[in-house]
Amino acid sequence: MKYRPAILVSGTVVAVVGLTTYLYSGSASTPFAANENHKANCSLTPGQTAAFELSSSVTAEGQSDSFKGVMSWQVEELNMGIARVRATFNSVSLSQNMTLAAERTALPEGLPFFLEIDSNCAISSKAFPAEWQPRARLLVATQLDNLTFLLPESGKTQWQMPALDGLGDYTAHFSLLGQAPLQIQRRKTDHLIRGAADRFGIHISLNKSVATATFDTAQPIWWQAVSGEEQMSVRTAGTPEVRMEQLFSLKRNDQLFTAVPQSSWALAEKSTPYDLLPELNELVTEHKSYQEAYQAFSSAITDKPPRYFDGALEMAAWLKQHPQDVDLLVAELRGQMDDEARPTAFLALELSGLTKAREALSTMLYDGSMSLGDQSRAASALADLGTPSLEVADLLLSRAEMKDMAGNASLLGVGSMLDRTEDPGLRQHIMQSLQDQLANTTDFSERLILIDSIGNTGEVAFVEVLSQELSSQSEATRRRAADALSRLPAEQAVPALLNALTLESDPQVSIALIDALKDTGASSSELVDVLEKHVSSPNSNQRAATIDLLGAQKNERTRQLLIAQYKVETDVQIKQRIGRYLPAKDLR
Q: CB–CB of 159/177 below 8 Å?
A: no
Residue of 436, 384, 440 whose CA lies nearest to 412: 384
In a domain, 358, yes or no: no
In a domain, 415, yes or no: no
Task: Select from 231, 263, 295 the last residue of a domain.
Answer: 263
In a domain, 317, yes or no: no
Peptide bond into 305 cis (omega under 30): yes
In a domain, 288, yes or no: no
Residue of 247, 77, 59 whose CA lies nearest to 146: 247
Q: Which H or E run includes 285? A: none
For 107-165, the pLDDT digits (tens) are: 778 899 999 988 888 888 889 998 888 778 888 888 888 888 888 877 788 888 888 78
Provide the pLDDT for residue 27.
31
Tell me the DSSP string of 157-208: SEEEEEEEETTEEEEEEEEEEEETTEEEEEEEEEEEE-SSHHHHT-EEEEEE
Q: CB–CB of 453/440 below 8 Å?
A: no
Q: Identify residue 487 by its one-letter amino acid code.
A: R
Q: Which three-class secondary structure string do you get for 210-276?
A: EEEEEECCCCCCCEEEEEEEEEEEEECCCCCCEEEEEEEEEEECHHHCCCCCCCCHHHCEECCHHHC
In a domain, 514, yes or no: yes
Q: Which residues have C-beta within 8 Å of that of residue 38, sequence separation ≥ 6? A: 154, 179
Provide the pLDDT for residue 20.
24
> C-alpha distances in angstroms, 221 versus 52, 75, 84, 218?
11, 10, 13, 10
> C-alpha distances in angstroms, 229 versus 59, 109, 142, 289, 355?
12, 26, 14, 45, 43
> In whole angstroms, what is the distance from residue 190 CA to residue 206 CA?
10
Provide the pLDDT for residue 240.
67
Task: Select from 239, 263, 287 the last residue of a domain.
Answer: 263
Structural domains of the chain, count? 2
Question: What global pTM score does this model have?
Answer: 0.63
Q: Which residues of the chain have pLDDT under 70?
A: 1-40, 98-106, 190-203, 220-221, 235-240, 271-286
Backbone angles phi, psi at 422, to 5 degrees: -110, 0
Tell me the DSSP string of 332-372: HHHTT--GGGHHHHHHHHHHH--HHHHHHHHHHTT-TTS-H
> In whole angstroms, what is the distance from residue 404 CA to residue 372 CA?
8
Residue of 208, 325, 253 whose CA lies nearest to 54: 253
Backbone angles phi, psi at 258, to 5 degrees: -125, 150
Provide the pLDDT for residue 236.
60
130: which DSSP letter? Answer: T
> In whole angstroms, what is the distance from residue 330 CA to residue 357 CA?
9
In a domain, 181, yes or no: yes
Cα 326 from chain centroid (whole Å): 30
> In whole angstroms, what is the distance from residue 88 CA to residue 414 CA?
41
Residue of 472, 469, 473, 474 whose CA lies nearest to 453: 469
Note every long-range contact of 438-444, with CB atoms under 8 Å and residues 24 or more positions apart, other chains counting. Answer: 438/465, 443/403, 444/474, 444/476, 444/477
Backbone angles phi, psi at 539, to 5 degrees: -85, 115
In a domain, 349, yes or no: no
In a domain, 233, yes or no: yes
The strand pairing partners of 301, in sequence order, are none
Q: Which H or E run includes 93? A: strand 82-96
Tell me which residue range forms the domain holding 582.
Answer: 478-588
> In whole angstroms, what is the distance from residue 411 CA to residue 398 CA?
9
Q: Length of the chain in residues, anyone?
A: 588
Task: Select from 263, 282, 310 the last residue of a domain.
Answer: 263
Q: Identify residue 320 by its one-letter amino acid code.
A: K
Q: Dihedral of the CA atoms 31, 160, 195, 366 (nearest 10)?
A: 140
Q: What is the CATH number of the domain that holds 128?
A: 2.30.230.10
Alpha helices in 336-461 (DSSP H): 342-352, 355-364, 372-384, 390-399, 405-420, 424-440, 444-457
Q: How many CB atoms lie within 10 A of CB 2?
A: 15
> In whole angstroms, what is the distance from residue 335 CA to residue 241 CA?
35
Q: CB–CB of 58/12 below 8 Å?
A: yes
Residue of 122, 104, 264 whose CA lies nearest to 186: 122
